[in-house]
A and B are shown apart, each in its own frame.
Chain A
Amino acid sequence: MTGNIYLILTLLLVFFCQPVEITAGSVTDQVGRTLVVPENPSRVIALAPSITEIIYDLGQEKRLVGVTQYSTYPAAAESLPRVGSYVRLDIEKIVALKPDICLAIKDGNPKHTVDKIVGLGIPVYVINPQNLQQIMDTISRLGSLLNAEKAAAELVSNMEKRIEQVRMRVNAGRHKPRVFFQIDAEPLFSAGTNTFIHELIQLAGGVNTAAGEVAYPRYSWEDIIVLQPEIVLISSMAGGLAPEYLIQSWKKWRLLEAVKNDRIFVVDAELFDRPTPRLVDGLEIIAAILHPERFIKSNNQAEE
């Protein structure tokens, strides 16, 4: 059934695309802007580390001519020319690299900077992923933009498969532990409902104690004692402090369930704050922390 639909869709696509065999096409990006993009972009600038990552995941790094300051993953990206940091882009350097397209992200790249680049005649495609599903959509979009549809489809189906596996394993778990995800220290900050972290905690079979409208709510230790988290996850970037220090700052509150049971973990910040396929790595890590019994058992069955 679905195979037939795809076939028809493909035929339709081929049929409709036939007359517009020119070098550029008009597309709509993820924030609804319409722009003309080159058919086969060969000089791409990624205006955020997450975009760099996705381009490498798609195997299209040969097209990359510039990246931003904190593009550290994969390591190979470190040797590419820098165009400032994603909040403070160096427009002169961008122009000097003569890109045929820039890829930007809505949460991060300031709108006035994107407007400026567009004003200089460089097309900017803006992505705006807000959850895992939209990240997969972003990957598909970037795949078709960079003529890497096949790699994108593989990447997305791999992500879907891994997410589904986690979902299946934790669904059988009856108890959903209360999780406090600390993204910043001194003052304490956590992540509210409209964040990747919230989605990952839910998928991993936990309850986010910071759920609520505020995206990044602030807490005092008094609030924490009221929240009574059973598990504490600390982002490795929190406050720029050492992991041991961060864990110690929790340990003095002995009345907390998480402290009593020694369930305080420092997790790699990069796996939770970048909208990339690595969020699925983050999901698997949280799921294993929340429901160790399910994951250890499965590992014994030597699944992967």
Chain B
Amino acid sequence: MPIGRKIVLITLLLGMVLILISIIAISAGSAGGHFWETLAILKGKGVSDHATATIIWQIRLPRVLLAAAVGGTLALGGLVFQALLRNPLAEPYILGISGGSAIGAIMAMLLGLSYFPGVALFSFTGSLLVLAFVTALAGTTLGSSMLSRDSLLLGGVMMNAFCAAVIMFLISMTRTFQVQHILYWLMGDLSRLQNNQLPILLVVLPCFVVIFILGRPMNLLLLGRETAAAMGINVKNTVLLLLVITSLMVSIIVSLSGLVGFVGLVIPHIFRLLLGPDHRLLVPACILGGGSYLIICDLLARILPASGEMPVGIITALVGAPLFILLLVRRTA
């Protein structure tokens, strides 16, 4: 099958899965199941009960949209970094974005700022500072201006270690009730976004498009930089563009959702196992699959606890790690 048709087919298939999962997630929640009401709304009929309509339209639908955007962005971020660094353990936070944004967010919380715009802006600024530092470091250590993959990786790991120490220091100085807010942020939490902030999520769409266009160059980068350069790719510019665009979209998402973990690590691996190494296929698959996956996790986070909800970051690894090991075993067997 030609690659173009394959891309369309996979995109349509996963798109349908995403829509189906979204309908299920909108139908269920702590206030009970509303499957028929959701179907009625889809058919264009209204819902007579005002409370039910509010729950479906203004509480669950925005949550599902946010989960889709966060999941898609993180999975795509993981995919790009795994290709750029040629390291299977890479994930969207590996270059220190998580550490920088967490320090920013925690400082804003300790200053008593509101989640929006206060915490979100501090967190975004924190991750940008880290990004600037890591790219500068990677450039200088190599001597030339080309971004070295190992120095990038090591710089990021060191940055995260340093930030982790600062985070632990800040937490140790904080009283219990604030620690809870900080921990929820660190675990990733989709319950904070206000509905009027949803349009911010649209910023990730152009990033998706640019990364999709860079799918073929990413395939060539996997063969090694020399080979890629020989095939006519401007390695330095491509790497830099991917690095900056990916970090930007991840930073924006993190500033709104906190550090939702594991999605960015496991989803690219799952699709690589299922679809092979072609990034032109993997980019749309990770966006749609990551979105679907986080919607499911968020649904579980909302309905599993008897009272309240738990941070979604707990579910992502709880479900994702066994799922991935299962796939791995079946693949090698």
User: Closest CB of chain B to A256's CB: distance in Å?
Assistant: 25
A95 and B31 contact, Cβ closer than 8 Å, known pairs A189-B175, A216-B175: yes
Query: Which residues of B are found within 8 Å of A115, using beta-carbon distances?
Result: 194
Task: Say yes or no: is B176 at the interface (Cβ < 8 Å to chain A).
Answer: yes
**B39-61 with Cβ < 8 A to chain A:** 50-52, 54-55, 58-60
Query: Does the CB pair B30–A90 fall under 8 Å?
Result: yes
A90 and B59 contact, Cβ closer than 8 Å, known pairs A115-B194, A116-B194: no
Interface size on A, residues (CB 8 A): 27
Docked pose: A84 CA to B51 CA in angstroms: 18
Query: Which residues of B are found within 8 Å of A3, using beta-carbon distances?
Result: none
Task: Say yes or no: is A103 at the interface (Cβ < 8 Å to chain B).
Answer: no
Query: Which residues of B are found within 8 Å of A85, using beta-carbon distances?
Result: 307-308
Query: Does the CB pair A92–B30 fall under 8 Å?
Result: yes
Query: Which residues of B are found within 8 Å of A91, using beta-carbon distances?
Result: 59, 191
Query: Does the CB pair B114–A87 fall under 8 Å?
Result: no
Query: Which residues of B are found within 8 Å of A284, using beta-carbon distances?
Result: none
Task: Say yes or no: is A178 at the interface (Cβ < 8 Å to chain B).
Answer: no
A95 and B51 contact, Cβ closer than 8 Å, known pairs A87-B177, A87-B181, A90-B30: yes
Query: Which residues of B are found within 8 Å of A89, using beta-carbon distances?
Result: 308
Query: Does the CB pair A111–B181 fall under 8 Å?
Result: no
Docked pose: A116 CA to B197 CA in angstroms: 12
Q: Which residue of A lies closest to B60 (CB)?
A: A92
Contact of B29 among A69, A92, A215 (CB under 8 A): A92
Query: Which residues of B are found within 8 Å of A120, using beta-carbon distances?
Result: 54, 58-59
B82-125 vs A, Cβ < 8 Å mask (1 yes, 0 no): 00000000000000000000000000000000111000000000
A88 and B195 contact, Cβ closer than 8 Å, known pairs A110-B181, A112-B114: no
Docked pose: A144 CA to B195 CA in angstroms: 33
User: Closest CB of chain B to A108's CB: distance in Å?
Assistant: 8
**B175-199 with Cβ < 8 A to chain A:** 175-177, 180-181, 184, 191-192, 194-196
A-B contact count (CB 8 A): 68
Docked pose: A178 CA to B80 CA in angstroms: 62
Docked pose: A237 CA to B309 CA in angstroms: 24
User: Closest CB of chain A to B283's CB: distance in Å?
Assistant: 33
Task: Say yes or no: is A184 at the interface (Cβ < 8 Å to chain B).
Answer: yes
Docked pose: A184 CA to B179 CA in angstroms: 14
User: Closest CB of chain B to A250's CB: distance in Å?
Assistant: 21
User: Closest CB of chain B to A69's CB: distance in Å?
Assistant: 5
Docked pose: A85 CA to B308 CA in angstroms: 7
Docked pose: A111 CA to B115 CA in angstroms: 9
Task: Say yes or no: is A96 at the interface (Cβ < 8 Å to chain B).
Answer: yes
A95 and B55 contact, Cβ closer than 8 Å, known pairs A87-B177, A216-B175: yes
Query: Does the CB pair A84–B307 fall under 8 Å?
Result: yes
Classify chain B: how many residues form its interface, as a range: 20 to 34
Task: Say yes or no: is A93 at the interface (Cβ < 8 Å to chain B).
Answer: yes
Query: Does the CB pair A90–B309 fall under 8 Å?
Result: yes
Query: Does the CB pair A112–B194 fall under 8 Å?
Result: yes
Query: Which residues of B are found within 8 Å of A198, using beta-carbon distances?
Result: none
Query: Does the CB pair A119–B175 fall under 8 Å?
Result: no
Query: Which residues of A are found within 8 Å of B31, using beta-carbon distances?
Result: 92-93, 95-96
Query: Which residues of B are found within 8 Å of A121, using beta-carbon distances?
Result: 54
Docked pose: A87 CA to B179 CA in angstroms: 12
Docked pose: A112 CA to B181 CA in angstroms: 12
Contact of A88 among B54, B58, B308 (CB under 8 A): B308
Query: Does the CB pair A90–B308 fall under 8 Å?
Result: yes
Task: Say yes or no: is A82 at the interface (Cβ < 8 Å to chain B).
Answer: yes
Task: Say yes or no: is B143 at the interface (Cβ < 8 Å to chain A).
Answer: no
Q: Which residue of B lies closest to A97 (CB)?
A: B51
Task: Say yes or no: is B4 at the interface (Cβ < 8 Å to chain A).
Answer: no
A101-118 vs B, Cβ < 8 Å mask (1 yes, 0 no): 000000010111001100
Task: Say yes or no: is A98 at the interface (Cβ < 8 Å to chain B).
Answer: yes
Docked pose: A87 CA to B302 CA in angstroms: 15
Query: Which residues of B are found within 8 Å of A111, using beta-carbon distances?
Result: 114-115
Query: Does the CB pair B55–A96 fall under 8 Å?
Result: yes
Q: Which residue of A lies closest to B116 (CB)?
A: A112
Docked pose: A112 CA to B54 CA in angstroms: 18
Task: Say yes or no: is B32 at the interface (Cβ < 8 Å to chain A).
Answer: yes
Query: Does the CB pair A95–B307 fall under 8 Å?
Result: no
Q: Which residue of B lies closest to A217 (CB)?
A: B175
Query: Which residues of B are found within 8 Å of A116, using beta-carbon distances?
Result: 194-195
**B114-167 with Cβ < 8 A to chain A:** 114-116
Docked pose: A74 CA to B115 CA in angstroms: 34
Query: Does the CB pair B175–A92 fall under 8 Å?
Result: no
Docked pose: A267 CA to B30 CA in angstroms: 37
Query: Does the CB pair A96–B32 fall under 8 Å?
Result: yes
A119 and B309 contact, Cβ closer than 8 Å, known pairs A87-B181, A92-B59, A112-B114: no
User: Closest CB of chain B to A225's CB: distance in Å?
Assistant: 22
Q: Which residue of A lies closest to B119 (CB)?
A: A112
Query: Does the CB pair B192–A95 fall under 8 Å?
Result: no
Query: Which residues of A are found within 8 Å of B194, using beta-carbon distances?
Result: 112, 115-116, 119
Seed contacts A91-B191, A95-B51, A112-B115; 8 additional CB < 8 Å A-B pairs: A88-B308, A90-B307, A93-B31, A111-B114, A119-B195, A120-B54, A120-B58, A121-B54
12 intermolecular pairs with C-beta atoms under 8 Å apart: A84-B308, A87-B177, A88-B191, A90-B30, A90-B309, A92-B30, A95-B55, A96-B51, A110-B181, A112-B114, A112-B116, A120-B54
Q: Sorted from nearest, which 9 A-B pairs have the closest CB atoms? A: A96-B31, A84-B308, A92-B31, A216-B175, A88-B308, A112-B115, A92-B29, A92-B30, A98-B51
